[in-house]
Structure 1
Amino acid sequence: MARGCAGDILARMMPVLILAAGASSRMRGRDKLSIAIDGVPLLRRQAKMALHVSTDVRIALPPRPHPRYDLVQDLAVDCIEVTDAAEGMGASLRALFATLESDVSAALILLGDLPDVDADDLRNLMTAMHTHPNALIWRCATPSGKAGHPMVVARDVFDDFKALSGDSGGQAILKAAGDALYLVPLKDERARRDLDTPEDWAAWEAARKKPLT
């Protein structure tokens, strides 16, 4: 596969598929994936985190030209241009899964706007695939069991993701998985904490600054 950005695949590992082609429409003119967290733009943070657990990182991005490409252009990642990104999340998932080679047995799906998920969370999720091998989907959740992100999906459901359309993501696939879906609890609410609006960002930043008691 041609490289969309710098670098070469060093070894075959579980691909990490990052969804970053959305329009940030609820941010009222600001691109949430370019907002810096501890000095690092969110998209770049997500890409570097993914590179801590895999040498195979593929990022769905809007049609070129777009400033998000500049955020990761020097990283060893594949930039996947989603020409029909305006369709919704289905277009991004469809484009990413279409890049997976026939010998890939599972892939990790990571949203571009999860600010608290870290590399250890990704490792724990990947480990669950081996500790609970009878599942087809391994999905992160809150401590109380509310399903969230990221998730790992087995090859058995790749074709379902390749056939997606619209903006519902893979909800129908997840529902159909039934008992073949295994939840992996993460600490606090990080599995469901995405930042879609300026208010979300303001609340999250305020909580980070709040001193521990």
Structure 2
Amino acid sequence: MKTGFVILAAGAGRRMGGVAKCLLELEGQSLLQRLLSHLQPLRGKARHDLVLVLGHHAEDIQAHVSQLPSAIAPLCVINPRPDDDTASSLRAGLRALSKDVQQVVVLLADQPLIDGPDVQTALDAFKARGQGIRVQVPMVHGQPGHPVIFDAQVHAALIGTPLQPSLRQWRAAHPEAVRLWTTDNPHYTRDLDTPADLDALVRETRWSWRWPG
């Protein structure tokens, strides 16, 4: 089954001091490079199978992407209105994906612990979903996380209908088609929003870190 990946990286990072969070280096690699490397074995060969949505800090992030190995480089698209909501960024990413993808995996660029096996486990759970389920959201101790996965029908509804609902609106309108997948894996809900989040991560992992430049 052909899978498309959308990584959301359009935010301003205001709570982190207005920086491009995905450029934070952990153990010598940026968050973005770490995530792209983990996804490489799971993706197709076409660049349109992996889309990185940018907004704020787009120039800096694109410069970083241009230095990455071509095997992991994503297709970059820019949301011209990144402050609207995440729905506009997701829609920009979905429009850029290959038209023949059968399922879509949505990730955040500031998830420091997500790795390939985590994503594969989520994909396996989606594959084993019950009849009629079209969207899967990981739930860790009652908290929703990422990756969110949905099928081609939802993909088409989000970009191809006149109203173009957000994913949140689609889920609210079709609760019977949404699976809240319960898991104990904290990687799905761990992200870096504030300096305190980064401090906690470094204490737990003892990873070295630095901001570029």
TM-score by length of 2: 0.80
Runs (4 or more) in structure 1 with deviation over 6 Å come to none
Question: Which of 55, 65, 68 is matched with 1:72 structurally?
Answer: 65
Q: Give the stretch that moved more between structures: 62-71 or 36-45.
A: 62-71
Using the aligned pairs only, state the percent identity.
Answer: 25
Unaligned runs of at least 5 residues, structure 1:
1-11
| Paired position in structure 2 for 1:136 | 134
| Paired position in structure 2 for 1:7 | none
Q: Distance in 2 between matches of 1:115 and 1:63?
A: 20
Question: Which of 148, 152, 173 is matched with 1:151 structurally?
Answer: 148
Unaligned runs of at least 5 residues, structure 2:
208-213
Q: Distance in 2 between matches of 1:202 and 1:64?
A: 23
Q: Distance in 2 between matches of 1:64 and 1:31?
A: 6
Q: Distance in 2 between matches of 1:51 and 1:68?
A: 19
* Residues 2 and 102, structure 2, Cα contact 8 Å, conserved in 1: no
TM-score by length of 1: 0.80
Offset at 1:173?
2.6
Counterpart amino acid of residue 58 in structure 1: V
Offset at 1:45?
1.4
| Paired position in structure 2 for 1:40 | 29
RMSD: 2.4
* Residues 125 and 139, structure 1, Cα contact 8 Å, conserved in 2: no
Offset at 1:65?
5.5
| Paired position in structure 1 for 2:8 | 19
Question: Which of 171, 175, 178 is matched with 2:172 structurally?
Answer: 175
CA distance change for structure 1 residues 204 and 65 in 2, over 3 Å: closer, same or farther?
closer
Does residue 91 of the first structure (1) align with residue 84 of the second (2)?
A: no
CA distance change for structure 1 residues 111 and 177 in 2, over 3 Å: closer, same or farther?
farther
Does residue 50 of the first structure (1) align with residue 48 of the second (2)?
A: no
* Residues 44 and 71, structure 1, Cα contact 8 Å, conserved in 2: no
Does residue 120 of the first structure (1) align with residue 113 of the second (2)?
A: no
Once the two structures are superposed, residues 178-210 of structure 1 have per-residue CA deviations (whole angstroms, 9 ceiling, x without a partner) of 232223344442221111111111122112239
Counterpart amino acid of residue 147 in structure 2: P
* Residues 17 and 109, structure 1, Cα contact 8 Å, conserved in 2: yes
Q: Distance in 2 between matches of 1:126 and 1:110?
A: 13
Q: Give the stretch that moved more between structures: 114-123 or 92-101.
A: 92-101
CA distance change for structure 1 residues 208 and 79 in 2, over 3 Å: closer, same or farther?
same
CA distance change for structure 1 residues 65 and 182 in 2, over 3 Å: closer, same or farther?
closer
CA distance change for structure 1 residues 65 and 132 in 2, over 3 Å: closer, same or farther?
closer
Does residue 28 of the first structure (1) align with residue 17 of the second (2)?
A: yes
Once the two structures are superposed, residues 56-99 of structure 1 have per-residue CA deviations (whole angstroms, 9 ceiling, x without a partner) of 21110127861111222233321112222232312211101112
Q: Distance in 2 between matches of 1:71 and 1:46?
A: 14
